[in-house]
Amino acid sequence: MSKKAAQERRERYKSEYFPEVIAWTGEKPEVGWFRAPRTLPLLMALLKSKKVSDNTDATSVYLELLSRHRDTGVIEMASETDHSYAAGYPGTRGVRTWQERMRLLEELGFIQSKKVGNATYKYVVLVHPAIIVKNLCDEGKVDQLWLDTYRQMQIETKEASYEQLMKRIQDDADLQAILDAPVKPKPRVKKRKAG
């Protein structure tokens, strides 16, 4: 079925079942949307899983970062209070909670950050999901059922697998230079137990 035929079919469903609804389409002249992989719901479930992040849920912080991404994967961060509030953490305790989630996202390899002056998170880069999943698999944090479901969704949506991404990087000299650069992962800080 062609893209146009599928779109026309969905337009018929819309007019038949939801004639009064003003729908979000993301098409021009709409603005204010963001790019995200179609595997995002699975990535959020993985991030939220006990095997990956214990009992610390960083999904709203990750989603908030994705929503601020425009291009190149780099986010020029606003104030921590703005980010924490947008991620669902209001107040002064909210900023601390947000900071804890940011550290977790970095420790798990979802993001990398650059400190500038007093801004701990002045710039943040979103790591490619295929790399995140590969690294978490290597650490034994991904169940096979989740991985099979993720791979099936990658194939269905034509999202690059880790191997396809690495092949694309090897074929691109600029990307290869980035891959060859040393990366120092930040050590995970153990939580203190309340005493």
- Write down all domains in the chain, each with its CATH number in brackets: 36-180 (1.10.10)
Whether residue 45 contacts residue 39, with contact meaning beta carbons closer than 8 Å, is answered with no
Q: What percent of the chain has pLDDT over 70?
A: 87
99: confidence class by pLDDT, cuts 50, 70, 90: very high
Burial of 127 (0-12, 13-18, 19+ CB in 10 A): middle
Res 143 pLDDT > 90: yes
Q: For residue 141, what are the β-bridge partners?
A: none
Predicted confidence (pLDDT) per residue in 101-140, tens digit: 999 999 999 999 999 999 999 999 999 999 999 999 999 9
Is-above-0.75 flag for pTM? Answer: yes
